[in-house]
Amino acid sequence: MDSNITKVATHISHNESLIFERSHPGRAGFSLPPLDVPETALDEIIPAHFQREDDLAGMPEVTEVDVVRHFTRMSTWNYSIDLGLYPLGSCTMKYNSRLNEKVARIAGFANLHPLASEGEAQGALQVVYELQQHLTEITGLPGISLQPAAGAHGEMTGVMIIRAFIDARDGREKSAQRRTMLIPDSAHGTNPASAHLSGFTVKTIRSTTEGLTDLDHLRELCAHGDVAGLMLTNPNTLGLFERNIQQICRIVHEAGGLVYMDGANMNALVGVARPGDMGVDVIHLNLHKTFSTPHGGGGPGSGPVCCTKELEPFLPVPRVVVRTRSGSDGVDSPVFKLDFNQPQSIGRVKAFLGNYGMMLRALSYILTHGYDGLREATEAAVLNARYIAHGLLADYEKPFDAPPMHEVVFTDKRQARKGVHTLDIAKRLIDYGFHPMTIYFPLIVSGAMLIEPTESVGRQELDQFIEAMRSIAREAVEDPELVLNAPHTTRIGRLDEAAAARKPVLRWKPREADTEPRAVARG
């Protein structure tokens, strides 16, 4: 039934039994020489209560090559940005260039010991310092720390800085009256989590029918003198630019609060507009989104925080700073130092300098693009999203009229009349060789499909994606069952996600009836 569709990528269709099932009694990946020293009783080395009694029952007995082949075969089941389009809205899955990987592997950086002294790590510190300079220029915010290890970590660091600032400005007693953090209903779930962990109570701001922050509701919430700040994503998670951002910042500032911007969607702004110029006080960036460092399991992430001059004293320590050394020959040279002497700092938030390998990749990305290139990347990211928005308009419901920025939200409203929902459309997209888009987020849009192509995609692939989505829309009308039961061409069909979450099988167990191992986790 799938003979008519154009398949962009092929799936590896061979199944693979679990490593436990590949076990053969007596096989091993090692061979030890005969013992040539007196044998020591195990009890003398490891106390009896630390020893297992089950003799490692059920552990797979396999050779090295069994293990290598097993995991290599399974690795071919992965879908990755190196295989094709990964249109996860709000996640910015852009291509990670090989040059950046090469830079991160330069031995002098990769092998540097994290405890090396300042004097022995001048090059590494210079990389941190230069990346800091670029990011502060990109955001228009002069204070910076590269320590946070990911986006939510950056968020929380930013919110802690807001709290420390208000404590210092108002005094502890008065500051305790300001414990409300305002967050729009379209925000990422990590925003309220960060605020809550930092001791704030969250109040939700409504979105207008246009998909933007409701200014009247914001004013109303700001009228009680308890607002510490606002956490705003711009463009917001609906892919729309908050065009009233300056007014929003003014309202919050007049109420005595600060504005934190979630930089998850900076891919739409880099080189074009600066949060600092909009009135934002503190922002985090995702190097693993906007600056093309690897993502998810390929990470780790990196979530630098940038802030205004007023908030700078509260940034985590140590700060990486530059000093000038006067040489004996009269020539001045820069010396990079770790500055721990910041009494108002919120303290350290991550060991050493943060996820250093990501900083190398991000600096490489910035330098290879140059500022014109960064701007072009932003323009291409927005153009690509708008191209998809235009291409799908005839077949899918677009809940907001405004032209999208780097990502566009559609819904399943038209397909739902035939009983075909967002999940089904996403699953069917796999049959066409694409990773599905983000689904059911933002939460305020029923049946949301959030599509972010990024700038790494060419027109041909955009057309293929649009054609696949339009084809699915036709199938939803002509043969809904085909979509409802998708995917059809993958190694495993539709999984029962509810059963997996309700009755999870988290580990393999030997079969009780006999000693022959078997998988209980097979779907």
Partner 1 sequence: MANVPENLHYSKDHEWVRVEGDTAVVGITDHAQEQLGDVVYVELPKPGEDFAAHESFGSVESVKAVSEIFTPVSGKVTEVNQTLNDEPEKVNQDPYGEGWMIKLKMSSRGEVDSLLTAAEYEDFTKAESE
Residues that bind partner 1 (CB under 8 A): 189, 423, 439-441, 443, 446, 497-498, 501-502
Strands 180-184 and 201-205: parallel
Q: Of 39 and 497, which has the nearer Cβ to partner 1?
A: 497
Whole-number Cα distances in Å, 444 to 185, 274, 410: 7, 27, 12
The count of C-alpha atoms lying within 13 angstroms of the C-alpha of 362, restricted to the half-sphere facing its C-beta, is: 30
Cβ-based nearer residue to partner 1, 135 or 423: 423
Chain position carrying tokens 């979105």:
207
- Number of alpha carbons in the 13 Å side-chain half-sphere of residue 419: 8
Task: Tell me whether residue 498 is exposed, middle or buried, using C-beta atoms within 10 angstroms of its C-beta: 0 to 12, 13 to 18, 19 or more.
Answer: exposed
Query: How many other C-beta atoms can be found within 10 angstroms of the C-beta atom of residue 250?
Result: 13
Q: How buried is 374 (Cβ within 10 angstroms: 0-12 exposed, 13-18 middle, 19+ buried)?
A: buried
Closer residue to partner 1 (CB): 206 or 337: 206
- Residue 99 CA from chain centroid, whole number: 21
CB of 416 to partner 1, least distance (A): 10
The least distance separating partner 1 from the CB of residue 456, rounded to whole angstroms, comes to: 28
> Least distance (Å) from partner 1 to the CB of residue 86?
21
Distance CA 426, CA 350 (A): 37
Comparing CB distances to partner 1, the nearer of 209 and 460 is: 209
Rounded Cα–Cα distance for residues 345 and 316 (Å): 6
Residue 76 has which token pair?
A: 């071919």
Q: How far is the CB of 410 from partner 1 (least distance, A)?
A: 16
Among 262, 186, 199, 205, residue whose Cα is nearest residue 228: 199
172 vs 502 by CB, closer to partner 1 = 502
For partner 1, give the closer residue by CB, 394 or 498.
498
Residues in Cβ contact with 89 at an 8 Å cutoff, skipping those fewer than 6 apart = 237, 239, 407, 408, 409, 437, 438, 441, 449, 450, 451, 452
Compute the least distance from the CB of residue 189 to partner 1, in Å: 8
Residue with tokens 């290890």: 149
Mind giving me the DSSP string for 368-416?
HHHHHHHHHHHHHHHHHHHHHHHHHTTTSB-S--SPPSS-EEEESHHHH
Residue placing its CB nearer to partner 1 in the complex, 387 or 441: 441
Residue with Cβ nearer partner 1 (207 or 364): 207
How many C-beta atoms lie closer than 10 Å to residue 505's C-beta? 13
CB of 203 to partner 1, least distance (A): 13
Neighbours of 9 (CB within 10 A): 12
Torsional class of 140: left (φ above 0), alpha (ψ -120 to 50), beta (otherwise): left
Which residue, 12 or 202, is less far from partner 1 as judged by CB?
Answer: 202
Could you tell me if 287 and 362 are in contact, meaning their C-beta atoms sit under 8 angstroms apart? yes
User: CB of residue 443 vs partner 1: minimum separation in angstroms?
Assistant: 6
In the bound complex, what is the minimum distance in angstroms from residue 191's beta carbon to partner 1?
14
Report how far apart, in Å, the C-alpha atoms of 161 and of each of 80, 199, 310 are: 36, 12, 11
Closest approach, Cβ 498 to partner 1, in A, equals: 3
Smallest gap from Cβ 446 to partner 1, in A, equals 7
What does the radius of gyration of the chain's CA atoms come to, in whole angstroms? 27
Smallest gap from Cβ 303 to partner 1, in A, equals: 22
Distance CA 490, CA 315 (A): 48
Closer to partner 1 by Cβ: residue 168 or 500: 500
Task: Provide, rounded to whole angstroms, the least separation between the CB of residue 221 and partner 1.
Answer: 16
Q: Which is nearer to partner 1, 28 or 197 (CB)?
A: 197
Q: Which is nearer to partner 1, 285 or 451 (CB)?
A: 451
CB of 345 to partner 1, least distance (A): 34
Omega before 235 cis (within 30°)?
yes
* Closer residue to partner 1, CB minimum distance, 189 or 199: 189
